[in-house]
Structure 1
Amino acid sequence: MIEALYIHIPFCENICYYCDFKRSVYNQEVVDAFLLQLDKEMTTRILNKGLQTIYIGGGTPTCLHETQLEKLLQIIQPYTHTVVEYTIESNLESISNEKLELLKAYGINRISLGVQSYDDDLLRYMNRKHKAADIDATIARIASYISNISIDLIYGFENQSKEIWLDSLKKATSNPNIKHISMYSLTIEENSVFGKQGVQPIDGDIEADMYILGREYLKSHGFEHYEIANYARAGYESKHNQVYWAYDDFYGVGLGASGKDDHVRYAITGNVEQYIKDGGELFKEQLSEKDILIEYLMMNLRTKKGIDKTKFKQKFKRNFDDLFDDAIERLVLHHQAMNTPTNFTMSEDGMLLLHTHLVQFMEVIDIIMEDEQDV
């Protein structure tokens, strides 16, 4: 039974230069029409009403004005009765007290803020509209309504020294209202403004150094490292995102959303005009056993929990240790992983090189699938 719902609101008041998500500049009439179509999509699709988590992302959902935001929350309300974690994304400049009152009234209990940096020069470089001096005061105001606050921070800019990065980490960890930090490396996407400007990624060794600096600083200042890019104070891990990392199924609604149901991954594609007219295009991909096995490993090994061997055997009818014995032995020998009777997990160093290590598992999977096809 699916217990998680993701809703994509593809509107922003301005476009950040690193962003390549499905998004469109806010227009009141367009948003009104979008919400009508979203309402239709929600009511015509078969959704389980025993959900545990809902996540409203974007875009910037809080760029909607109060009437539109309330309409959105009303559309979602029938699915909220059993929800334990209800998250919305926001920018600092788009979250008024009136909007916070609405969010709280409709049961939202977690907010994810696009802080990105405490350095004004970097914020301008990204085309963010808030100032570093606004961050703590805005977070304090939000905390008076919603206490579970997560922030995003980005590292890896060519004009971001390690000192600038460390300063952001210090300021974020010193704020007791911040309960969760997602720490992302800048990725230059082809269709982002940075991509079109020809901005180049920084040297890989420098990026790795900044990752390690961030990881160790957050761990030593009250944040548990529970997934490659995510850190939380005790009890504030993201329940919704753990659905993705466990490779469980989830609903996705709204233009730009994706979802997974059994062996099918789907996405709602097209442009805003097409979505408003007919709901956009529903792209579906049938996942093979090989796809599922690779993606299951890829997602679960991102986390501190790693592979639960009992769950692995229940899902794939295979013994994890027997299947990957050589890869396990090599990774443990080189301190890249830990193997116990119940779990296989990457070490901190192993997480940093996860994509490299996954190749070893993929090679085994390729051999297995070829052998089974020959039988």
Structure 2
Amino acid sequence: MIKSNAHRGAYIHIPFCDHICHYCDFNKVFMKNQPVDEYLDALAKEMQHYREDGLPETIYIGGGTPTALNEVQFERLFIDIQKNLVHSSVREFTVEANPESLNEEKLEIMKRFGVTRLSIGVQTFDDHLLQEIGRAHKSADAANAVKLAQTHGFDNVTLDLMFALPGQTETSLHESLERAIGLGTPHISIYSLQIEPKTIFYNRMRSGKLRLPGEDIEADMYGQIIFELEKHGLHHYEISNFAKPGYEGIHNSLYWQNEEYYGIGAGAHGYWKGVRYANAGPVKKYIERVHAHGHARTSEHPVTVTEKMEEEMFLGLRLMKGVSTSHFREKFGVPIDQIYGTQIARLQEEGLLTEHHGRLSLTRRGIFLGNNVFEAFITS
């Protein structure tokens, strides 16, 4: 019997962008001529719908580009969130921001409405690479945005970086890491570039016009990242995330710990009451569905017990602390070895998985071959 869990988060999606980056496959649209005010109306209505099921412990506004909203729209968004979702026990309130659209007025709005954490999309401090990947800001803009946020009292700032970019060298990566570390933020997220369908980079790759670092260079870059960030006191707590103690991302940790969360907004995905769901992606369709039903779900999938166990493993193993064997038994009513004994033994023999103090976690080698480990637990 699976026990219910009180932990929950709320993800709110703002799909609007002033430009489209070459690698981005998230649900997004150009800001110009979009029904932004009508979209905010629908967001407020969908928040009301989920409020009836209980208030979240974490709130995360992502995109798209949330800071692409103008100041009036931006403030209105936070008024609606405060009315419907904010309460005294919110543990973390995060907003994604782009350097070119973050200003003093928006920082003051976020401070006034209780935002506790900013996630600033920097990607790289190499101006040539920023142009190559279609970003609208320069490296100086990114540094200035971080400093501006810090002067407005935001001490919990995370930098979002990328590596294995087209034409990126290990020297360029090292220089970006040095610039990032020098800004003194307590959290850095850094992801390798993934080429996804329906992106500019995907089309370039198919036509042979995209030059990417090979797998060996990408692995070397990842090793360099781990070494440099840990050397400067940012501990490696998740495959792609590094933080000073006490600054680990709480909202994203809900995902990795397989907890439930509301997905609010066009194209948002949620996991609630044992059901994974997806909202309508097109903005106008999203607005229509919310006004008709109170929510915008277009697909729902009740997660089976087997799937929940699989997710517990491949999500939990992203965390360096790994998966608790006692928690697994408490949650699912069976010992972990009864379900995954064969896979665990094989991965331990291959040097990819280890068990220590009742927790299964990736070895150093396993961190570099994480996908091989995760795939071993997908049986359904």
Please give the TM-score of this superposition, normalised by the length of structure 2: 0.91
RMSD: 1.8
Change (3 A) 1:289 1:107: same
Q: Give the structure 1 partner of residue 288 of structure 2.
A: 277
Matched residues in 1 for 2:105 and 2:376: separation? 52
1:88-237 map, 5 Å: 88-145=95-152, 146-176=154-184, 178-198=185-205, 199=210, 201-237=212-248
How far residue 24 of structure 1 moved from its aligned partner, in angstroms, is 0.7
**Per-residue deviation at 1:28?**
6.3
- For 1:34 and 1:283, how far apart are their aligned partners in 2? 20
Measured against aligned partners, the alpha-carbon deviations of 1:106-150 in whole angstroms (never above 9, x if no partner) come to: 000100000000000000111111111222222111112221100
Corresponding residue number in structure 1 for 2:261: 250
SS at match of 1:310: helix
Gap regions ≥5 residues in structure 2: 1-5, 291-295
Q: Which residue of 2 aligns with 1:358?
A: 374
- Give the aligned residue type for 1:218: L
CA distance in 1 between counterparts of 2:70 and 2:375 reads 47
Indicate if the aligned counterparts of 2:27 and 2:281 stay in contact, CA closer than 8 A.
no
Does 1:27 find its partner at 2:32?
yes
Counterpart of 2:181, as a letter, is T
Residue deviations 1:159-211 (CA, integer Å, cap 9, x gap): 101100111111111221x1111110001111111112233654222211111
Task: Name the SS for the 2:260 alignment partner.
Answer: coil
Q: Give the whole-Å Cα distance in 1 for the aligned partners of 2:33 and 2:167.
A: 36
Cα deviation, residue 48, structure 1 = 4.5
Deviation at 1:282, TM superposition (A): 2.6
Q: Distance in 2 between matches of 1:358 and 1:4?
A: 24
Cα displacement (A) at 1:291: 1.6
The answer on whether the counterparts of 2:123 and 2:162 sit within 8 Å (CA) in structure 1 is: yes
Q: Confirm or deny: 8 A CA contact 1:151 1:182 kept in the other structure.
A: yes
Name the amino acid aligned to 1:124.
Q
Kept in 2, the 8 Å contact 1:3–1:48? The answer is: no
The question of whether the paired residues in 1 share the 8 Å contact of 2:317 and 2:362 is answered with yes
Q: Is the contact between residue 277 and residue 297 of structure 2 (CA under 8 Å) also seen in structure 1?
A: no
Structure 2 counterparts to residues 215-364 of structure 1, below 5 A: 215-279=226-290, 280-362=296-378
SS in 2 for 1:190: coil
- Judge conservation of contact 1:328–1:339 (CA < 8 Å) in 2: no
In 2, the alpha carbon distance for the partners of 1:43 and 1:203 equals: 48
5+ residue gaps, structure 1, are 367-375
Secondary structure of 1:27 counterpart: coil
Q: Across the two proteins, how many residue pairs are aligned to each other?
A: 363
The separation in 2 between residues aligned to 1:305 and 1:84, in whole angstroms, is 21
Deviations 1:254-302 (A, max 9, x none): 1121111132100102311211223344311122222221111110000
Q: Distance in 1 between matches of 2:318 and 2:297?
A: 31
Paired residue secondary structure (2:172): helix
Contact 1:49 1:80 in 2 (8 A): no
Asked if the contact 1:113–1:151 (Cα under 8 Å) also holds between the matched residues in 2, the reply is yes
Write out per-residue CA displacement over residues 88-112 of structure 1, whole angstroms, 9 at most, x where no aligned residue.
0010011110111000000001000
Name which of 3, 16, 23 aligns with 2:8. Answer: 3
